[in-house]
C-alpha cells in the first residue's frame, strides 16, 4: 500500500465529484517513465533551468536539491510513481519565486491544452515546506497538437488563475494563484480555463500577439507552473510532488429566472447564483438575464450541486441535486419571491420600514431606495406596498 492514498483536499478553485461521469483527456500520471528519471527530463525542467528565476534558486546543495524527477517513493496519487520537485531559495531574496518550465523537455515537452476544458492535477506538499501559491503559465499560441502533445515553445505567456503579482513592463512576476497550505496529503488543483482570471507575463517577439491577460486562441500549452511563497523570501527547502495531469470537459447550466411582480427591465437585474457541494459554496456566479429571463452559467465542472439563486429584493431559492456530467444542463428554472428590500432573505417589518422611509420617492430624491421600488416602475408607491403586504412573512431558502 502507498503512503499517499490519503484524503484529497479540494481547493476553492473547484471540486470534482468522483461519483459523476466526466469526459477526461489524460496527459500523464508518470507511470510510463523510469524511476528515478534523469533530472528535468520528464514534463518539467529542473528548478534552476528558467532564466526568469534561476538566480533565486540555491545550487550546490546536496541532492535532491534542485531536482525534478519521476520517483517511486511511496507517494503517488495513483499507481506507484509521481514527479518530485525539490528546491531551495537563496537567502535574503524577498522577490524569489520559481518558474518550473516544460520548455523542450526530453519527455512530454510543452504539453498542449484546450482552453475549452479545465486542467486538473494533484499536488502533495511535504511537511516543513513553506506555504505557497501555484499558478499556471500557458503559451497562448493556438497550436493544433492533441491534448498532451507537443504544442511548441513559441508564443506569449499568460498567467492563468493569477489575481495579482509584481508588475513588470508588459506583465507580472511572482503571480498569486491557488493557495496551497495542506501538508502531507494530496490536494486537487483545478484551473477552469474558460473562466479563470488571467494576467500577462511575457510577450513573444512580433508578429506574435503580445501577452494581454486573455486566453485568445482555442489552445495553448502548459508552459510552466509558478510557485510563489506566501511569505516573501521564505527559503525552504520546498518538497513538492505532482501527479495525474489531465483535462476534463466542463459544461454550462442554463434555465430561466422569474422575477415575480416586476415590471422593470429584467436584463438590468443581476442574479447571484451560488454553486454548493456538501453545504460549501464552491463557486459564485453573477448572471445577467435576457429579455425572457434566460440565464447561463458557463463552464461548470462535473459534479452534483445545489444552486442558490438570489437577486437584490427577491428571496433566495435553492434548486437541489443539479448534476453536471458529460453534456450541458438545461431547464434549471426558478421563480423568486419579491419584497426583501433589506436583503436579509425574509420579508419582514424591517422591509416595511425601508419602504415607508422611501415612500413617494423617485430617482434623484434624497430618500430614493431602488430596492424599495419593488415593481420597478420608477417610484415607490402603493403598488410596491401591495407587493410587500402580499409576501409579508415569507422567508427564502437558506
Q: What pLDDT score was predicted for residue 341?
A: 98
Q: How far apart are the first and last CA of the chain?
A: 43
- Tell me the torsion sign for CA atoms 73, 74, 77, 79: positive
Looking at residue 206, what is its pLDDT?
87
Q: Are residues 396 and 315 in contact, defined by beta-carbon separation less than 8 angstroms? A: yes
Q: Identify the H or E element spanning 388.
A: helix 382-391
Strands 186-192 and 98-101, sheet pairing:
unpaired
Beta strands in 29-145 (DSSP E): 67-71, 82-87, 98-101, 112-114, 117-125, 132-139
DSSP structure string for 324-365: E-SS-B----EEE-B--TTSSSB--HHHHHHHHHHTT--TTS
Domains of the chain: 9-248 (2.60.120.260), 250-336 (2.60.40.10), 344-398 (1.10.1330.10)
Angle at 6 between CA 251 and CA 38, to 5 degrees: 85
Question: H/E element holding 199?
Answer: strand 198-202
DSSP 231: S
* Phi, psi dihedral angles at 374 (to 5 degrees): -65, -35
Alpha carbons within 13 A on the beta-carbon side of 16: 28
Main-chain phi, psi angles of 36, to 5 degrees: -80, 145
d(CA 23, CA 35): 29
Length of the chain: 398
Q: Distance between CA atoms of 115 and 293, rounded to whole angstroms? A: 29
The DSSP result for 120-180, as a single string, is EEEEEE-TTPPPEEEEEEEE-----PPTTSB--S-S-EEEES-SEEEEETTEEEEEE-EEE
**Residue 20 confidence (pLDDT):** 76
From the list 154, 20, 40, the residue with the least C-alpha distance to 101 is 40
Buried b (16+ CB within 10 A) or exposed e, 116-146: ebbbbbbbbbeeebbebbbbbbbbbbebebe
CB 104 within 8 A of CB 80: no
Q: Which helix (H) or strand (E) holds 389?
A: helix 382-391
Contact 353, 327 (CB under 8 A): no
Ordered per-residue pLDDT tens for the chain, 398 residues? 233 333 333 344 343 344 578 899 999 999 999 999 999 999 999 999 999 999 999 999 999 999 999 999 999 999 999 999 999 999 999 999 999 999 999 999 999 999 999 999 999 999 999 999 999 999 999 999 999 999 999 999 999 999 999 999 999 999 999 999 999 999 999 999 999 999 999 999 988 899 999 999 899 999 999 999 999 999 999 999 999 999 999 999 999 999 999 999 999 999 999 999 999 999 999 999 999 999 999 999 999 999 999 999 999 999 999 999 999 999 999 999 999 999 999 999 999 999 999 999 999 999 999 999 999 999 999 999 999 999 999 999 99
Q: Quote the CA–CA distance of 152 and 208 in Å, as a whole number.
A: 14
- Show Cβ contacts of residue 62 under 8 Å, excluding neighbours closer than 6 positions: none
- Report d(CA 190, CA 181) in Å as an integer: 15
Residue 215: count of CB within 10 angstroms of its CB: 18
Residues 234, 236, 239: CA angle, nearest 5 degrees: 135
Q: What is the pTM of this model?
A: 0.91
CB 68 within 8 A of CB 37: no
Amino acid at each position: 500500500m502507498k503512503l499517499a492514498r490519503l484524503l484529497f483536499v479540494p481547493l476553492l478553485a473547484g471540486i470534482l465529484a468522483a461519483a459523476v461521469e466526466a469526459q477526461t483527456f489524460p496527459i500523464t500520471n508518470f507511470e510510463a517513465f523510469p524511476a528515478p528519471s534523469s533530472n528535468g527530463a520528464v514534463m518539467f525542467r529542473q528548478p534552476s533551468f528558467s532564466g526568469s528565476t534561476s538566480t533565486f534558486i540555491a545550487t550546490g546543495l546536496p541532492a535532491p536539491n534542485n531536482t525534478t524527477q519521476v520517483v517511486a517513493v511511496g507517494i503517488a496519487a495513483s499507481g506507484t510513481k509521481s514527479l518530485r520537485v525539490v528546491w531551495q531559495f537563496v537567502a535574503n531574496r524577498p522577490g524569489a519565486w520559481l518558474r518550473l518550465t516544460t520548455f523542450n523537455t526530453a519527455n512530454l515537452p510543452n504539453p498542449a491544452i484546450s482552453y475549452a476544458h479545465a486542467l486538473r492535477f494533484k499536488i502533495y506538499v511535504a511537511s516543513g515546506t513553506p506555504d505557497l501559491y501555484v499558478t499556471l503559465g500557458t503559451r497562448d499560441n493556438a497550436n493544433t497538437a492533441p491534448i498532451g502533445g507537443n504544442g511548441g515553445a513559441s508564443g506569449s505567456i499568460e498567467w492563468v488563475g493569477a489575481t495579482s503579482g509584481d508588475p513588470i513592463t508588459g506583465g507580472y512576476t511572482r503571480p498569486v494563484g491557488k493557495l496551497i497550505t495542506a501538508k502531507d496529503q494530496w490536494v486537487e488543483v483545478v484551473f477552469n480555463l474558460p473562466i479563470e482570471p488571467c494576467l500577462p507575463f511575457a510577450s513573444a517577439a512580433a508578429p506574435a500577439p503580445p501577452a494581454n491577460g486573455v486566453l485568445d486562441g482555442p489552445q495553448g500549452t502548459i508552459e510552466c507552473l509558478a510557485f510563489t511563497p506566501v511569505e516573501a523570501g521564505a527559503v525552504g527547502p520546498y518538497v513538492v510532488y505532482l501527479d495525474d495531469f489531465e483535462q476534463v470537459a466542463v459544461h454550462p447550466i442554463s434555465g430561466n429566472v422569474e422575477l415575480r411582480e416586476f415590471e422593470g427591465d429584467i436584463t438590468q437585474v443581476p442574479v447571484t447564483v451560488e454553486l454548493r457541494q456538501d453545504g460549501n459554496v464552491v463557486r459564485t456566479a453573477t448572471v445577467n438575464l435576457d429579455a425572457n429571463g434566460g440565464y447561463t452559467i458557463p463552464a461548470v465542472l462535473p459534479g452534483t450541486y445545489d444552486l442558490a439563486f438570489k437577486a437584490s429584493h427577491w428571496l433566495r431559492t435553492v434548486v437541489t441535486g443539479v448534476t453536471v456530467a458529460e453534456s450541458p444542463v438545461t431547464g434549471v428554472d426558478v421563480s423568486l419571491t419579491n419584497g426583501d428590500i433589506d436583503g436579509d432573505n425574509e420579508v419582514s417589518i424591517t422591509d416595511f420600514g425601508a419602504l415607508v422611509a422611501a415612500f413617494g420617492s423617485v430617482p434623484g430624491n434624497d430618500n430614493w431606495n431602488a430596492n424599495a421600488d419593488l415593481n420597478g416602475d420608477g417610484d415607490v408607491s402603493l403598488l410596491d406596498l401591495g407587493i410587500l403586504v402580499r409576501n409579508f412573512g415569507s422567508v427564502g431558502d437558506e
